[in-house]
Amino acid sequence: MFELIKAGGWTIWPIILCSVAALAIIGERLWSLQKKYVAPATLLAQVQQWLVDSDIEPARIAALRASSPLGKILAAGLINRDHEREIIKEAIENAGRHVVPELERYLRSLGSIAAISPFLGLFGTVIGMIEMFSGIGQHGVGDPSIVASGIAIALINTAAGLGVAIPSLLFYRYFRGRVNDLLIEMEEEAVKLVEILHGERESD
């Protein structure tokens, strides 16, 4: 591996930095976008029990808001529970708009890495070709090591760029779909809460 990096020349280092950043983002998002951290399955049932027991205290709402993104949305509904349906829905929607950037955190960076990595590989390829032809121009074609060195730089950078871009793009698409699924699920839970607050839905 170290020999490949060395043979790739200085142009491979930006690709390596992109790969490190991509791995960090992928690991963080795989951990943070777990359902148990974003939309716990028992959270709405817990809120329902508080409503049944008439035990909605400010401390409980604060703890609910800090527990998860879904908790922030449900807390916004509980705070406005004595208002009309439209006001509750508006409060929930406003909370949801603040939750979206939290779920999409770092995804733009991951998408950017997926987009620029092939170009970084192409840049390394061009540099390798330039070095190869420059060496040929100075020393002729009698020394095959000059040609081999330039081709090695070109191929290694191309492969490295694609090696970073392909998994980055796959995980970017996966995380976008994951965020959309979680948002739909949280929206359904929020609608249930609104219906429960207005007596239009019984506890599940």
What's the token pair of residue 13?
């280092």
| pLDDT average per 10 residues of sequence, the chain (204 residues) | 70 92 96 93 89 84 91 91 87 92 94 95 87 68 67 86 95 96 93 81 50
Residue 199 has what pLDDT? 66
CB 31 within 8 A of CB 176: no
Q: Give the integer Cα–Cα distance in Å for 141 and 130.
A: 15
Q: Give the integer Cα–Cα distance in Å for 158 and 4.
A: 12
CA dihedral 79, 82, 84, 88 (to 10 degrees): 10
Q: Give the integer Cα–Cα distance in Å for 97 and 85.
A: 18
∠ CA 197-199-182, rounded to 5°: 50
Residue 144 has what pLDDT? 66
Nearest to residue 192, comparing CAs of 53, 10, 51?
51
Burial of 74 (0-12, 13-18, 19+ CB in 10 A): buried
Residue 184 has what pLDDT? 93
Residue 83 has what pLDDT? 84
Residue 131 has what pLDDT? 77
